[in-house]
A and B are shown apart, each in its own frame.
Chain A
Amino acid sequence: MFDFNFQEIQPILKVENLNKLFGFNKGCQNINFELFPGEVLAIVGESGSGKSTLLNSLSGHEQPDSGDVIYHAKNEQDYSLYKINESERRLLMRTELGFVHQNPRDGLRLRISAGGNIGERLMAVGERHYGDIRSKGENWLEQVEINSDRIDEQPRFFSGGMQQRLQIARTLVTHPRLVFMDEPTGGLDVSVQARLLDLIRQLVQKHQLAVVLVTHDLSVARLLAHRIIVMKQSEIVETGLTDQVLDDPQHPYSQLLVSSILN
């Protein structure tokens, strides 16, 4: 216990001078940070501060105006997400990256079965054996606390919380190393939120995921994230360890955010 055996590792994501603006201070600009394997980073800030634009640019969905997003892949190669060609990027997004939308309708097909939703991602990465796909589907339903005998039901008949859990199963089944989440508990009842947050916390730990999470709810950040980025009007105004930023915020805007929480 008196030895310090920290291994310096490569960041899984490097963001360099990223800019994506839709108008004056609308979007995100001058964004620089690194994310490490197994690290959970929360991006917080009010609506319109550029959180979602940033997330879309980081995850390969929104070409930035300038700057670089460099992903360090499983094969130890670096890929600049917007300099590689479209098909390479799509392949990375299917295999190593995952995205959980705020609204499960954006991440699911509501009229195909729950099992089909999970299986589709597996088939997209080349799995063909029906029995394997089905048993992985059942296993993942159980992991997100959905009874596996509901595998043939269509998610349009599921509650919002169940749909969100199914979307998480669909995202994680291909074992991504880096997952982006946009307000994953956004539209849910408070009681359902708590359950989902605890589930996400467990899955992130169990599968050692790196996560970039957008939320306007500081208690979500407190529970899930190692580190926080505070955004205001398209720029990062403060960043640091989650508990440090929430307990001892430095920037006037962070102080305003933290002092606005009702206890």
Chain B
Amino acid sequence: MNNATQLTPALEVKNITKTFTLHQQQGVAYTVLDDFSFSLNRGECLVLNGPSGQGKSTALKILYANYLPDSGEVWFHFNNHSVELYSSNTHQVVYLRENHIGYVSQFLRVIPRVSALDIVAEPLISQGFDESASRDNAAELLTRLNIPEKLWSLSPYTFSGGEQQRINIARGFIKPVPFLFLDEPTASLDEKNKQVVLELINEFKQNGTAVVGIFHDADIRQDLADKIIDL
């Protein structure tokens, strides 16, 4: 790392506005984000805070190009390059997601027939890592998250909400990434597993990952946040 990169933030969000227009419901339009901006350095964690319905998830989804803003910019800064999300083509966005962003959504999207272990290992395998080494990493992470080994070869279809969420978390944390976005990752977890997730997030921060998250628990927010934005 040279000095220049230390001065540049990792993530810059500039003047995001987001309006939902419901064409099927008399064209009702409501604005959720208006001129939303922040910047975040490597190794820092930004917590999006506020009551439900204020746009926390919407803001997070816009960072991942899952929701499309009306206007504004999202800049990802690297050592050698900067990428603006909404002026890149979809091909480039897919590359950015697959290689540089970890994203943990609120719910696991189960793929038919795919085992828990493979769901977790897939982000590594699809990047071209050795399959058995990727599965070893996945197994290590599932062990840390207290998923019993007898479940690893099963499709998470029948798992409990908390188990599914831990599979989802493991998938989001399997590869080292410079950017990590977390949508209530600890919502359905018990105390022991919350602590594991907290440790994982702190390890990523120490490695320089910029983290943006929504957290239900006040103590987790307290523990992780370098910056808080109230929405």
Chain A interface (Cβ within 8 Å of chain B)? 1-4, 6, 36, 39, 194-195, 197-198, 201, 205, 223, 226-227, 240-241, 243-244, 247-248, 250-252, 255-256, 259
Contacts and interface: CB of A to CB of B under 8 A. Distances in A.
Interface string B54-95: 000000010001111000000010111101000000111111
B208 interface: yes
A252 B24 CA distance: 7
A61 B61 CA distance: 40
Interface stretch (B110-118, B137-145, B158-166): B110-118
Which 7 residue pairs spanning A and B have beta carbons closest together? A252-B23, A194-B112, A4-B78, A4-B81, A248-B67, A198-B113, A2-B79
Task: Specify the main secondary structure of chain B where it touches its partner.
Answer: loop
Contacts, number: 76
Contacts of A223: 111
Given A1-B177, A195-B112, A223-B111, A244 B65 contact: yes
Given A198-B112, A223-B111, 19 more contacts: A1-B176, A2-B42, A2-B78, A4-B81, A39-B91, A39-B94, A194-B112, A194-B113, A195-B112, A198-B113, A198-B114, A226-B91, A226-B94, A240-B68, A247-B66, A248-B20, A248-B66, A248-B67, A255-B22
A4 B96 CA distance: 8
B72 to A, nearest CB: 15
Given A4-B78, A4-B81, A252-B24, A205 B111 contact: no
Given A226-B94, A244-B65, A247-B66, A1 B113 contact: no
A3 B73 CA distance: 20
Interface in B150-200: 176-178
Contacts of A6: 92, 95-96
Nearest to A193: B112
A152 B163 CA distance: 46
B126 interface: yes
Given A1-B177, A241-B93, A256 B24 contact: yes
B216 interface: no
